[in-house]
């Protein structure tokens, strides 16, 4: 769309939607099916996960995990991108698993490391769990804030 800036070395996955006036600094990675509404600004070396949704006029300074909706200032978790996941064929069971994982990470815990341990110990293995935990474990600069913070 109009007035979008993609700086050097950005990597965009398939079916990414970038609305008007979005600005990506260098070395930003956006995975498949992510949606960035208008006027979003993304800091360099940020990774935005698959099927995520970032609300308009957001400033992205930390990595955004897959399957989530993000908004506010500072950028925070506001839920799971349920509408997008259902449009892409995710089952109700898969969406529920994703919601349970993020409830543990972003709502019940203020410490991401403890939340990850809790998810690993208390939730069954699933493709969604693997994708989420791999993303977080490979985010050395950290992920966005949760509701409890």
Q: Nearest 5°: CA angle at 18, between 17 and 19?
A: 115
Catalytic residues: 8-9, 26
* 17: pLDDT strictly greater than 70: yes
Q: How far apart are CA 22 and CA 5, in angstroms?
A: 6
pLDDT single digits (tens) 19-53: 999 999 999 999 999 999 999 999 999 999 999 99
H/E run at residue 23: strand 23-24
Report the CATH number of the 5-81 domain: 2.160.10.10
Q: How far apart are CA 18 and CA 127, in angstroms?
A: 27
Instruction: Find the mean pLDDT for residues 111-138.
Output: 96
Is 1.20.1180 the CATH classification of the domain at 84-137? yes
Percent of the residues in the chain that have a pLDDT greater than 70, as a whole number: 99
Bridge partners (DSSP) of residue 37 are none
- Interacting residues of 89 by C-beta distance below 8 A, sequence separation 6+: none
Residues of the chain with CATH 2.160.10.10: 5-81
Residues of the chain with CATH 1.20.1180: 84-137
């Amino acid at each position: 769309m109009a007035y979008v800036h993609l700086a050097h070395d950005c990597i965009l996955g398939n079916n990414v939607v970038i609305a008007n006036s979005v600005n990506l600094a260098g070395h930003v990675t956006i995975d498949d099916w992510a949606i960035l509404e208008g006027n979003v600004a993304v800091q360099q070396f940020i990774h935005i996960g698959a099927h995520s949704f970032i609300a308009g006029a957001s400033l992205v300074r930390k990595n955004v995990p897959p399957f989530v909706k993000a908004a506010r200032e500072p950028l925070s978790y506001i839920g799971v991108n349920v509408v997008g996941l259902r449009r892409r064929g995710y089952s109700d069971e898969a969406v529920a698993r994703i919601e349970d994982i993020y409830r543990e990470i972003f709502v019940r815990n203020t410490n991401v490391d403890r939340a990850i341990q809790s998810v690993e110990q208390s939730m069954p293995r699933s493709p969604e769990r693997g994708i989420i935990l791999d993303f977080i474990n490979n985010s050395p600069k950290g992920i966005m804030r949760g509701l409890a913070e």
